[in-house]
Amino acid sequence: MKDDHIKHAKNFLSRFTVNGVAASDFEDVVNALESWDDWCSKWSERAAVHEELGREALAQKHFVSAAEHLSRAAVTYHFAKYLFVQDMKQMRAAHMKAVECLDLALPHLDPPGQRVLIPYEGSQLVGTLRLPKGVTRPPVVLMTMGLDSTKEELLTFETTFLDRGMAILAFDGPGQGEAEYEFPIRYDYENVVGPVIDWLSQRDDVDASRIGVWGISLGGYYAPRAAAFEKRLKACVANCGPYNWGALWDKLPGLTRDAYIRRSHSASPEEAREKAFQLSLEGVAEKIECPLFVIAAGLDRLCPPEDAEKLASEAKGPTTLLVIPDGNHVAHNRFYKYRNQSADWMAAQLAASS
């Protein structure tokens, strides 16, 4: 009998595949697993296949192929470390391979990307900056991911904005990706986005007067939280975020709770639960004045659609609510019902030229 975590993992199919994992890889790995203990190692083995293909393509100067193989390797290594917090040494090894493969792919993507370092609290946050082709000083979309995602997972999301003339800055914030080891999750995300905007304002290749923020899952809390207090943000997309993370705590899957305990740097489940209540939009949503696009998924078992609907009803500025009745968490299974729509909306808010 396969353990409960593996049974739960069957629900990850749409998320993995829409973000670049080969469907056959998902079926092969998940169906062969008997224990969650083997999750990280088995996914890392499959990621290594794509990494080898990418390195061979690089050596032969087949750069288009290299970008494709290495991007797939990066996201596959990412999902090896995904929620696997029971063995931090093993998890971090997979994570560093994801980072390494993305860095190798970035110069060869279309359009290319660059690894950037953003000063933050005496250290730095790491991000991916990509500029759309043929656009001088484009607007920028800040991409804020959730509890268990990192910049290595966002390449397919990035394309929707790049294709419409917007630059993207996907960065690992506190408790995420490369920052998760040094900085715990923080609820006051305006104090993360603020330094990021300061950094962008010093660049001459983007227009820092036209910045939007986009967030998925827990990032669907971070983005509107930032928009409520950081008035330099001109628009916000919030996809399936919690209204009050603590209020959902007791119903969260065990893997999700374990990841939050680790990434909030909590000493116990009780401490993590207490911290989770700080991630609340109560008294905050009403301070959002910029245009807001909220996505809710009717079948979301992690962040119920009522949370998104409450955010939309309380925001002060012009708000669009898109409910996808048959969508799962972040509506990965119905990505075609919101990705283009929300990107078109963002392009209009930031006056992007594609």
Report the C-alpha gap between 118 and 116 in whole angstroms. Answer: 7
Quote the pLDDT of residue 13. 94
End-to-end CA distance of the chain: 52
DSSP string, 158-190: HHHHHTTT-EEEEE--TTSGGGTTTS---S-TH
CATH number of 111-354: 3.40.50.1820
39 and 8 Cβ atoms separated by less than 8 Å:
no
Q: What is the pLDDT along the chain (354 residues), one digit of tens a residue?
A: 358 888 888 889 999 999 999 999 999 999 999 999 999 999 999 999 999 999 999 999 999 999 999 999 999 999 999 999 999 999 999 999 999 999 999 999 999 999 999 999 999 999 999 999 999 999 999 999 999 999 999 999 999 999 999 999 999 999 999 999 999 999 999 999 999 999 999 999 999 999 999 999 999 999 999 999 999 999 999 999 999 999 999 999 999 999 999 999 999 999 999 999 999 999 999 999 999 999 999 999 999 999 999 999 999 999 999 999 999 999 999 999 999 999 999 999 999 986
For the entire predicted model, the pTM comes to 0.96
Report the C-alpha gap between 289 and 229 in whole angstroms. Answer: 9
Q: In the block, which residue shows the tokens 């696009």?
A: 293
CATH number of 1-110: 1.20.1440.110
Quote the pLDDT of residue 354. 66
Quote the pLDDT of residue 1. 37
In CATH terms, are 1-110 and 111-354 the same topology? no
For the chain, the domains span: 1-110, 111-354
Joined together, the tokens standing for residue 252 give 């969260």
Question: At how many degrees (to 10) do helices 254-263 and 269-276 cross?
Answer: 80
The residues annotated with a catalytic role in the active site are 217
Number of other CB atoms surrounding residue 305 within 10 Å: 20
Task: List, in sequence order, every residue forming a beta bridge with 323; answer none if it has no partner.
Answer: 296
Quote the pLDDT of residue 91. 97
